[in-house]
Structure 1
Amino acid sequence: MQHRTVADLMSHDVVRARRDTPFKEIVELLADNGITAVPVVDELDHPLGVVSEADLLRKCSTRTDPFSRIPKPHLEGPESAAAEAAAEGATAEELMSAPALCAHPEWTVTEAARLMALHHVKRLPVVDEADQLKGIVSRGDLLRIFLRRDDAIRDEITGDVLRRTLNLAPSDVTAEVHEGRVTLGGTVESSSLIPVIERLCRNVDGVVSVSAHIGYRLDASGTAPAGK
């Protein structure tokens, strides 16, 4: 199976900010390019952090407003000090969330998605072996694998998974795909093969779900099902 990598999905033309890029210029970069965040890089193009709309909005949300109907966000300890410092920031280096969490071009969608979920971020700068910025990948980029055509998914399942990987004959297991949902049918020799087929099919890019209606001739102990 050929999984799509971060390199296949990332945006290559990355809008960057420098350490000293001022607040207002960052807002203009976001607005002019229709984006919600920019990586901040040093002189060697190494990502140092990311400035997002959320980072910039601290400038408004932490201000004292006696007429506000909404209370100020309540933070304690180091989080409070960091939020106040960021709210007072005037340059990218002072405003950014750091350090930068980065992906690599050869990563799979699963690896990038797990890092995003673990750290609750919406995008990852992508760096090469020298830690230089080569692209940026967002949640939306990763979701593009679910735009694969049903026939492309079916061809990969029947050709790569069932035939070449598992060496099953076309008459053993059939696969139907509708809007990314895979339905498997047929009969295999052993019941132990069914969960393997399901797992491999779920790992195909673009698959939303797998429903297996596969019979078997022998169970895990080598016994035929009752009635056969």
Structure 2
Amino acid sequence: MRACDLMTAKVATIAPNAPLHVVAETMVERGVTGLPVVDGAGRPLGLVTESDLLHRLAATEQRQHGYLWGVFHSISRQADEYARSHGQLAADVMTLAEDLVTATDDTTAEHVAKVMEERRIRHMPVVREGDRLVGMVTRAHLLRAALALPEHRDSQAPDNVIRREVIRAMRQQPWADTHFTFVEVRDGVVSFSGLVRNEHVKRGLRALAEEVEGVREVVFHTQPTPSYWIGAP
């Protein structure tokens, strides 16, 4: 699945000189949490999110930074912080286009999710031909995509094939112990027995097994690895 399959194509936008109360009203009316800021030709100049507006509102309760803060932060950083805290227009509080993380039509859903997680962002504009805004992907789109992932539990696979694939997957993971954790499969039900270090490893094993095609259920008949064993924690 690609960004073009996930995105909202009819994106609400705002002008850079829009007052912040208009930005807030537009977000509420359109039911969105982020608005691309565009120029007259529709090219993205930046992005305003609900977090930017909340930061602006909360700034009225914040104390002014002291002398040392100014010493250890660049002039640009100080000016940007002041604009975000005191500005009245969308252009004052937005994330600038040069700092925006964008996607293209062909960016995969997996890559979008990875970048959003790493950068701790909730919106990713989709651009075409370098600078033309064509859509927006949000975390809500990714969640819907995750819910739409194809299920394979109704598919058929021989038990011996399932067991082989589960063990193969375990051998690829450094936290999975194929020496003391045993796998049996009957009618598509994967059963783990033997020793498992802790609940975290059990959760990992469950997720690992459920990824194998044909697995209908995962059960555990395991015991905790004794704490005195080397490497048990």
Question: How far apart are the structure 2 equivalents of 1:24 and 1:54?
Answer: 14
Alpha carbons 1:5, 1:107 under 8 Å: kept: yes
Q: Kindly tell me: are residues 211 and 19 of structure 1, through their superposed partners in 2, closer, same or farther at Cα, counting changes over 3 Å?
A: same
Partner amino acid, structure 2, of 1:8 = D
Q: Kindly tell me: are residues 37 and 74 of structure 1, through their superposed partners in 2, closer, same or farther at Cα, counting changes over 3 Å?
A: farther
* SS at 1:50 equivalent: strand
CA positional deviation for 1:196 = 10
CA positional deviation for 1:45 = 1.6
Question: How far apart are the structure 1 equivalents of 2:171 and 2:151?
Answer: 15
Q: Tell me the percent identity.
A: 26
Gapped runs of 5+ residues in structure 2? 174-205, 213-233
Partner amino acid, structure 2, of 1:90 = Q
Alpha carbons 2:170, 2:208 under 8 Å: kept: no
2:122 paired with 1:106: no
Q: Kindly tell me: are residues 84 and 121 of structure 1, through their superposed partners in 2, closer, same or farther at Cα, counting changes over 3 Å?
A: same
RMSD between superposed Cα atoms in Å: 3.3
Say which of 209, 212, 225 aligns to 1:211. Answer: 209
Partner amino acid, structure 2, of 1:6 = A
Question: How far apart are the structure 2 equivalents of 1:97 and 1:123?
Answer: 11
Number of paired residues? 170
Compute the TM-score of the two structures, normalised by the length of structure 2.
0.61
Compute the TM-score of the two structures, normalised by the length of structure 1.
0.62
* SS at 1:135 equivalent: strand
2:46 paired with 1:34: no
| 1:63-212 correspondence runs (5 A) | 63-64=60-61, 72=63, 76=69, 77-78=73-74, 79-99=77-97, 100-148=100-148, 152-154=150-152, 171=158, 185-187=162-164, 194-195=168-169, 209-211=207-209
Which residue of 1 is the match for residue 5 of structure 2? 8
Runs of 4+ in 1 over 3 A off after TM superposition: 71-76, 78-81, 155-158, 170-174, 195-199
Partner amino acid, structure 2, of 1:42 = D
Q: Kindly tell me: are residues 148 and 60 of structure 1, through their superposed partners in 2, closer, same or farther at Cα, counting changes over 3 Å?
A: closer
More helix by share: 2
Q: Kindly tell me: are residues 14 and 197 of structure 1, through their superposed partners in 2, closer, same or farther at Cα, counting changes over 3 Å?
A: farther
Q: Kindly tell me: are residues 213 and 58 of structure 1, through their superposed partners in 2, closer, same or farther at Cα, counting changes over 3 Å?
A: closer
Gapped runs of 5+ residues in structure 1? 65-70, 159-169, 175-184, 200-207, 215-228
* SS at 1:44 equivalent: coil
Alpha carbons 1:52, 1:96 under 8 Å: kept: yes
* SS at 1:11 equivalent: coil
Which residue of 2 is the match for residue 25 of structure 1? 22
Alpha carbons 1:16, 1:41 under 8 Å: kept: yes
How big is each residue's C-alpha offset from its partner over 1:39-75, in whole Å with a ceiling of 9 and x where there is no partner? 11122222121111121123322225xxxxxx64969
How big is each residue's C-alpha offset from its partner over 1:107-144, in whole Å with a ceiling of 9 and x where there is no partner? 11121122222322111011112421111001111122
Question: How far apart are the structure 2 equivalents of 1:196 and 1:25?
Answer: 54
CA positional deviation for 1:186 = 3.9
